[in-house]
Amino acid sequence: MPGVRFGRWAVAVAALTSVAVPVCVTGGHAGRRAGPARPLPVEAAGSPGRQTRVAAELRYASLPAHAAPTVGLLSNTTAVEGVPPSVATGARYVEGSSVLRLASGRLKYLPDAGTTSAVVAPGHPPAWRQITRSRAWLASGRVPGSSPTQRAAAERALLAMRALLRPNGAMAAGWSPGWDYSWPRDSGFAAAAFAHTGHDAEAYRILRYSSATQRGDGTWEARTKLDGSGPPDRRRPQLDANGWVPWATWQWYRTAPEATRRARLGLLYPMIRKAADHAAGSLRQDGLPPASPDYWELMPSATTIGTAAPLLAGLNSAADLAREAGRPEDAARWERSARRLSSAIAARFAPLGYRRTADGRHGHDSAVAFMAPPFNAAPAGLSGALDDTYGALLLPNGGLTPGNDRTAPWGATAWTPSTALFALAWAATGRPDRAGRVMEWVLSKRNSLGELPEKVNGAGGPAAVAPLAWTGSITLLSLVALDGTALPTPPLRP
């Protein structure tokens, strides 16, 4: 997630450093727009030298307080303009488009090649040409969903993600200040969702951007500016990206046209090799990776399942891609590392029910879903761990908190990505009824424009920015799986 995304989540943990800030801030993830500069805290229980490590992590850029989050997007596919709540009142999107019909009946849209919206007559020909092209783009792929509500939500998520995707392949997490950066994690999910809904060009464009922005050591910055010029601040890299990007590439490859996919994989393969080699080289003697910030965007005191599980998915994906690329030596090397990591996860995390950290000291974590398809083949006992974690993280408003670590209290706010991950996990493990109930809750929290928000407040209303690319991606993948299309899972070879 972006910014203070789940670092947005991080503001909730600022109490660790005796900074008084509210638990629920409008800027999370990419919104990472929550107030003055804040440190990236360490999950502290039992962590020696915690205060020193916290002091060393003053990496958040200053984020303006009181910035109104977006509730929708206008887009001509090259430029984007956020829709503030004041404009959204009484408005609705014209079906199949990113053009708003205002309460007056007039249309508000972003003209082709323009960067500023215009309000025009209801029959304005240029606006309707844009609407026609938008509908054609949707028709060129797949809008998943078995009910009108699901299909409407999927259509809106696809159009929002298309708007957030920049021409250079950068995928903005959202379009509010602080969310308007590209995270490898969010981008990977978006690439997979585009791939499984038949939008190959968009998926591949994201992967090419990931290739272009990879660091020399095979890792990625936590997030980059949308022009690809580099990170907006000095926060440390998040090792889970080395799993998410190869996994996303594998998902794209499984859906890409066979006539061209091998040649295009060749352009991405140097990225895969560097990413997988770094992931394999990061494994310690016990087979686990080191502690690293993950989707919570906090510096943990021990290895998290939110890093270990994505790296396992990435190593398995990289190995399979290596075989497709005719690189058996690479495949064998990464398969050995994947087996080591899998054994370590089984030894250290499985007995704990896949809780947040390998030391068992930081509670439940919605990242348990990363051990399920379409990320990893579900190990024995995962079904019970999913059930237990869901119950532990369930809030009175019906959604999930990212985790129940006592050092990271998220309060009464639910996070739609964490909640939707369980719909995906259950849909992919043969429990469609339970997945459907979770997805019904997620879709019921769309705002008045039909956009999926980042958070849901204690009263059950949408909160923070909308739309959020990560939630949209997980929702689309879940709906594909609920439609009966089995999402592929990278194989762990014996």
Residues 6+ apart with CB under 8 A from 333: 280
pLDDT of the residue at 424: 98
Enter the tokens of residue 403: 């985790």
Q: Rounded to whole angstroms, how far apart are CA atoms 330 and 69?
A: 45
Phi and psi at residue 277, to the nearest 5°: -65, -40
Question: How much is the pLDDT for 224?
Answer: 98
How far apart CA 357 and CA 372 sit, in angstroms, is: 17
User: What does each of the 494 residues of the chain score in pLDDT, given as a tens digit?
Assistant: 543 444 443 433 332 222 222 222 223 333 333 332 333 344 544 433 333 333 333 222 333 444 678 999 999 999 999 999 999 999 999 999 999 999 999 999 999 999 999 999 999 999 999 999 999 999 999 999 999 999 999 999 999 999 999 999 999 999 999 999 999 999 999 999 999 999 999 999 999 999 999 999 999 999 999 999 999 999 999 999 999 999 999 999 999 999 999 999 999 999 999 999 999 999 999 999 999 999 999 999 999 999 999 999 999 999 999 999 999 999 999 999 999 999 999 999 999 999 999 999 999 999 999 999 999 999 999 999 999 999 999 999 999 999 999 887 688 899 999 999 999 999 999 999 999 999 999 999 999 999 999 999 999 999 999 999 999 999 999 999 999 999 999 999 98
Question: Is the CA virtual torsion 71, 182, 258, 309 positive or negative?
Answer: negative
Asked if residues 178 and 32 have their Cβ atoms less than 8 Å apart, the reply is yes
Residue-wise pLDDT tens digits, 481-494? 999 999 999 999 98
* Per-residue pLDDT at 410: 80
Query: Are the beta carbons of 473 and 152 closer than 8 angstroms?
Result: no
**Digit-coded pLDDT (tens) for 357-397:** 999 999 999 999 999 999 999 999 999 999 999 999 999 99
Q: What is the pTM of this model?
A: 0.90
Residue 67, pLDDT score: 60
Residue 409 CA to residue 298 CA, distance in Å, equals 13
Going by the DSSP 8-state scheme, the letter that residue 125 receives in this structure is H
Closest CA to 469 of 213, 165, 227: 165
The gap from C-alpha 38 to its chain's centroid, in whole angstroms, comes to: 22
DSSP structural state of residue 352: G
pLDDT for position 45: 41
